[in-house]
Structure 1
């Protein structure tokens, strides 16, 4: 950074610490790409959130401007504008130019906060080509500007610009009063332009990430109103056609957050667990003489937890410390998980006979399967690992969270209240079913190897297996009913094509529990034949077939059976679908025998839709050719001759397959929940709203 001859000792002392930030930005914000850019924004937003957390202010507005700047405004108390006696600088300048300075030290201003290192605002200032701060306090609007951490004034024209002419401040207090404020009005507004010298050219603010963070924070502080406004008009975003605004405000707290995160097939209501504990830790305290001394301080840690189980096996756990997300966990999360495992082991042991649990021990994954949990702890000056605050390190929190969860969860699972008792029983049954599923999958994986012709007796009797030992070349056809099986046996190539008949419509696993799914004969047989296990423990490398092909009739029932089968694969064998190894066969609907005058041989044409049939008939008519009446319409696979089925649907040289893909997992999850889940009202609304789009003629085609 170039230094003007006007610089005096005060300028040098201000820049001394911030130069280190500019030299090693990764140490403070993790990286200099979009992730680091967003981290800077979180630092400013978290300062406003800490005000709300302390009970001051209930509104935060974040605006992404077209010129690349971002603005954060709150109605908190406002940064102090009086002069700090030790430095002789105003509170605003101290906050934005001094590392390890602010209201988060000593415990006087904030009982619990997210910004704990005192470097957030000053780091953002150091990494910005321009930063403007306005503070509304005591009936006045105070303003101060910085260029790359240095206080001064910009010669702005009609609008503020980071490249405007800059004059470094010569006096010790460049905080100016620019207006009056209404009585009782307070707050802080920060607008900054990230420095292009520091951040990579492709670094961008993500409106989606910002909205997700705002939603998350609004859940964690009930009643807080957060507004996110995107004025950039970027192509492909919600604000493409004009300024886009989202407002987040939730009064239900983390219980509402858990409802938002959970799947659509809950086993339980949201269970809320709250409690607190205290601990003592040695901390350095700054004395009046300017020296630090180690003192024992008593701390209080508040624990708030929301739990909900779903019928599936995916786990969603979000943990927070003073509303700061800790995606990599820490002592609070390890305390929660160990307490959960201990409580459930004790409860299963106490009810072993009723649950038919045997002597097997639960593991952590059994308890967490299908769980959605939001865990928050609040305490003063927590220890984080690094400035990015992704891992909580305070050791005593593990014990406190563990004790609270153990006590309250045991009380819930042992409750005699009728509704609670029923839900507790369902959760315990689910956990035990997960344990049995895991043990069964492990045993199956250990014992199950590719079977040769002499060993197929361990497989279901109705499986017509193939002879090849090459998994990549083998194919499993899941066929609808025994009539289709008979034809398919004659049509297949037994070297590499195996057949498994499914009788009728299998269980809808989107609604059913894991235990119900495993006890269903058709589902169990299918999982056993595929050979990779089920659910969380599914191993795509252990699957016995390279392709799994669903071969159902081309009618409404066939489509329903195919949907039920896909639901099973999506819920419990998803890696197989993600690997592109699940297919749907496309059997023909019509068989047309074209007759050419003067020739004995007849050309056979298969069509796959009503539209295609009409096109073929029109072509034959234009060529002056006739066709045999009536045209054969296949109502099911069983109506085909073996050679016809082989030629059209099973022979790799001629058949057509439709690969099942998951382009967007979350969108697919929502569709399966909507169409196959236990919640009837959304499905009814979907059917009613799309009824006018239905083409009746396409039902069988």
Structure 2
């Protein structure tokens, strides 16, 4: 059989998404389902971080749907053409990245993909005392906008404005449409740690024994994150969490760092770039380790501790026992690989190393007894091995 251009099938828009869903959400299994959900949550979280909304509510409904609501301005009125465009085309919602761009999932193609891969999706935008409603079935509009009276009971009902997107993942596409409450709760908890001021709740209406709900909001950001990690492990008997924030034009972004020294030799150092976990590491974690090593080595020499001269040869041992979170938010994050789990921005390493060296060195000077205890223990442990 001869194969030529006539055999090439060109798919566009929703047909392309439904034909090859794995290209847009990663898989048709459980992982792809979560990417679909997080792609909708991404829009609402972005509204909060852009100061256009104050909170996000996510609900797993009893009939297998997911409802994502925010109390934002609803696009400035009851009708939102930008929101409608995001639901019906690829070209919207992919503007230039910035440090406020939160990467909630490695595969996140926005509302258009969620609409195409849902058996049903409804969007409600309310403001100025009215409500705009539109409904889609597998990405195709089934109802014209309808303006009705005030909406009660929604996230935005108290403020008079907001947006709610409800959708039902398509059973023709996904192997499972059951979302795990613990899995989503852990990701939302993480987002709240990494974005101070973000209030995000998760409600599950499915259990037969009653509705369950959790709310995440952490005023101290990554300091709270480090304290929570430490509390979970029970590795450290004290609560001296050191942390700082800094903006650096050289890396076109901001950094937020917190750390805690424990008494075990197991380090727990977690890195994030624009709120996405960088499991493979990257330049931000390289810079962090370098800065910690420099600060500890300098303070040990200042104290004239026996064995301080040996630290250079055992620099990697200095971070043992550390619990730390290193979060950067960059205008132009450069991820190495399609999964975005390895950060490659070269300027980030230098900037973070310098900041950690300066801030941690100052903390040692301001807390001489605590600093001497930490550094002396590090030197002693290395010398004894």
Residue of structure 1 equivalent to 2:66: 70
Match of 1:329 among 275, 281, 284: 281
Give how far 1:143 is off.
1.6
5+ residue gaps, structure 2, are 1-9, 152-156
Structure 1 pair 20/410, CA: closer, same or farther in 2 (3 Å)? farther
For 2:57, the equivalent position in structure 1 comes to: 61
* Residues 9-30 of structure 1 deviation map (CA, whole Å, 9 limit, x = unaligned): xxxx9x8233333333333333
1:397–1:354 Cα change, 3 Å: closer
* Residues 577-636 of structure 1: per-residue CA shift (max 9 Å, x gap): xxxxxxxxxxxxxxxxxxxxxxxxxxxxxxxxxxxxxxxxxxxxxxxxxxxxxxxxxxxx
Q: Which residue in the other structure is 1:137 paired with? A: 127
Q: 1:259 Cα shift?
A: 1.1
Query: Does 2:317 correspond to 1:366?
Result: yes
- Structure with higher Rg: it is 1
Q: Distance between the aligned counterparts of 1:385 and 1:151, measured in 2?
A: 38
Matched-pair contact (CA < 8 Å) for 2:256–2:326: yes
Q: Structure 1 residue 277 and structure 2 residue 273: aligned?
A: no
Change (3 A) 1:111 1:376: closer
Cα distance, 1:74 vs. partner?
0.9
Displacement of 1:365: 4.4
Residue in 2 that maps onto 1:112: 100
Indicate whether 1:401 and 2:352 are aligned.
yes
Aligned residues: 366
User: What is aligned with 2:259?
Assistant: 307
SS of structure 2 residue aligned to 1:196 = coil
- Aligned pairs for 1:231-270 (under 5 A) are 231-233=205-207, 240-262=208-230, 263-264=233-234, 265-266=236-237, 269-270=240-241
Distance 1:214 1:83, change over 3 A: closer
TM-score normalised to structure 2 length: 0.83
Structure 1 SS opposite 2:269 = strand
Q: Gapped runs of 5+ residues in structure 1?
A: 1-12, 85-89, 154-173, 234-239, 280-298, 441-701
Structure-to-structure mapping, 1:85-104, within 5 angstroms = 90-102=81-93
Task: Check if 1:225 corresponds to 2:199.
Answer: yes
Give the CA deviation at 1:218: 2.3
> Structure 2 vs 1, CA of residues 106 and 81 (structure 1 numbering), >3 Å: closer, same or farther?
farther
Aligned match of 2:161:
186
| Equivalent-residue separation in structure 2 for 1:399 and 1:82 (angstroms) | 47
Which of these residues, 376, 379, 382, is aligned with residue 429 of structure 1?
A: 376
Q: Hey, what's the Cα distance between the residues in 2 that align with 1:375 and 1:34?
A: 29
Q: 2: CA distance between counterparts of 1:191 and 1:364? A: 52
Shift of 1:229: 1.1
The Cα offsets for residues 342-398 of structure 1, whole Å up to 9 and x where unpaired, read as 3334444554x4143453535464233221112222233433456754333433333
Distance 1:319 1:151, change over 3 A: farther
When residues 257 and 93 of structure 1 are mapped into structure 2, their CA distance, relative to the original with a 3 A threshold, is same
Change (3 A) 1:337 1:55: same
Counterpart residue number, 1:378? 329
Matches within 5 A, 1:506-521: none
State the distance in 1 between where 2:381 and 2:36 align: 42
Relative to the length of structure 1, the TM-score reads 0.48
Structure 1 counterpart SS, 2:12: helix
Higher relative contact order (CA 8 A, sep 6+): 2
Deviations 1:488-539 (A, max 9, x none): xxxxxxxxxxxxxxxxxxxxxxxxxxxxxxxxxxxxxxxxxxxxxxxxxxxx
**Alpha-carbon distance, 1:307 to partner:** 0.8
Change (3 A) 1:19 1:388: farther
Query: Equivalents in 2 of 1:24, 1:339: separation in Å?
Result: 45
* Preserved contact between residue 78 and residue 130 of structure 2 (Cα < 8 Å): no
Question: Given that residues 64 and 229 in structure 1 are in contact (C-alpha distance below 8 angstroms), is that contact kept between their aligned partners in structure 2?
Answer: yes
Distance 1:396 1:27, change over 3 A: farther
- Please list the CA deviations of residues 439-489 of structure 1 after superposition, one character each: whole Å capped at 9, or x if unmatched: x3xxxxxxxxxxxxxxxxxxxxxxxxxxxxxxxxxxxxxxxxxxxxxxxxx
Equivalent residues of 2:78, 2:126 under 8 A apart: no
Contact 2:264 2:321 in 1 (8 A): yes
